[in-house]
């Protein structure tokens, strides 16, 4: 059928695989949130947040509904959150957040993805001390001064506020996540967060100048991203562009 057909077929397959992983990822997050309390978004704020995030990511409603119904069934898989820390090419460092029902499987898969791409899995704390664990909120519709006044009045601890072309970005200690989110939502019921999560922010960034090391680093990140148990990957490399 020709190269054009094969290229389109390959692109469609990659898109389908990416969507499948996204569906599975949000399904597990919603299931875990529903299992942690009442399986009703109106009565479980953690579940409500995950449902909102899933809808924003255009996850089908039936995927969301199935995850909640599964949690209502009582018995089921027990998922735990675990972080892995590692070193990669060019003095890079990574923190890999996972949600898993099988620690042995996840440990093996993460270790393999890192070691096969020029890296080494570290022990707990070997990398985390070079990052800040922060709450991050980004949204439009308010200036940085207005946001700071609002949060100061509510006695919220804020690390930094950035304002760029109408976009407000708020950084705070991770322990302040729930408090700040509640304050912002209560004072602006129609707020739509562009970013609303706990992140690992590097204290210092590195730039990989060597092209071979840069490509190996990209392969490592891609290998980690493709693992079903991996939720997020954070690193300290700047100016790194990844292919979709």
Domain ranges of the chain: 3-72, 80-129+203-235, 131-202
One CATH from 3.10.270.10, 3.40.50.300, 3.50.50.60, 3.30.70.980 for 80-129+203-235: 3.30.70.980
204, pLDDT greater than 70: yes
Instruction: Mark out the alpha helices in 154-210 (DSSP H runs).
Output: 177-187
Q: Is the pTM of this model over 0.85?
A: no
Instruction: Mark out the alpha helices in the chain (DSSP H runs).
Output: 3-35, 45-56, 61-72, 103-115, 144-153, 177-187, 211-225
What average pLDDT score do residues 181-194 get?
86
What average pLDDT score do residues 177-205 get?
89
Compute CA 237 distance to the chain's CA centroid, rounded to the nearest angstrom: 17
What does the pLDDT read at residue 222? 94
How many Å apart are CA 175 and CA 178, to the nearest integer? 8
Beta strand pairing call for 160-164 and 195-202: unpaired
How many Å apart are CA 166 and CA 139, to the nearest integer? 8
What average pLDDT score do residues 8-26 get?
60
| Fold match, 80-129+203-235 / 131-202 | yes
Q: What are phi and psi of 181, to 5 degrees?
A: -60, -40
Residue 18: which pLDDT band, with cuts at 50, 70 and 90?
low
Question: Which of 36-40, 100-104, 237-241 is most confident?
Answer: 100-104
- pLDDT for 129-181, tens place per residue? 999 999 999 998 888 888 899 999 999 999 999 988 888 999 999 999 989 99
Average pLDDT of the chain to the nearest whole number: 86
Residue 171 pairs in a beta bridge with 136, 160
Residue 83: which pLDDT band, with cuts at 50, 70 and 90?
very high
Please give the share of the chain, as a percent, with pLDDT higher than 70: 90
One CATH from 3.40.50.300, 3.40.50.620, 3.30.70.980, 3.90.550.10 for 131-202: 3.30.70.980
What average pLDDT score do residues 36-62 get?
86
Ramachandran area for residue 149 (φ above 0: left; ψ -120 to 50: alpha; else beta): alpha
One CATH from 3.30.530.20, 2.40.50.140, 1.10.10.10, 1.10.10.200 for 3-72: 1.10.10.200
Tokens matching residue 215: 């490509």
Specify the 3-state DSSP secondary structure of 190. coil
């Amino acid at each position: 059928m020709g190269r054009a057909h094969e290229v389109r077929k390959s692109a469609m397959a990659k898109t389908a695989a990416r969507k499948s992983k996204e569906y599975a990822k949000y399904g597990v997050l919603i299931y875990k949130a529903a299992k942690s309390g009442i399986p009703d978004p109106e009565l479980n704020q953690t579940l409500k947040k995950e449902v909102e995030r899933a809808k924003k990511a255009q996850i089908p409603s039936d995927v969301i509904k199935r995850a909640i119904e599964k949690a209502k069934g009582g018995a089921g898989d027990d998922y735990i959150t675990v972080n892995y820390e590692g070193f990669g090419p060019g003095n890079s460092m990574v923190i890999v957040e996972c949600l898993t029902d099988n620690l042995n499987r996840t440990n093996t898969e993460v270790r393999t993805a890192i070691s096969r791409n020029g890296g080494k899995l570290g022990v707990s704390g070997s990398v985390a001390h070079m990052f800040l664990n922060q709450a991050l909120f980004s949204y439009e519709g308010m200036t940085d001064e207005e946001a700071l006044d609002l949060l100061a009045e509510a006695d919220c601890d804020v690390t930094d506020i950035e304002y760029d072309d109408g976009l407000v970005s708020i950084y705070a200690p991770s322990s302040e996540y729930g408090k700040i989110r509640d304050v912002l939502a209560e004072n602006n019921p129609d707020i739509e967060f562009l970013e609303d999560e706990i992140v690992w922010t590097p204290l210092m960034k590195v730039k990989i100048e060597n092209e071979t090391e840069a490509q190996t680093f990209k392969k490592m990140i891609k290998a980690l991203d493709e693992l079903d148990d991996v939720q997020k990957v954070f690193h300290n490399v700047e100016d790194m562009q990844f292919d979709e």
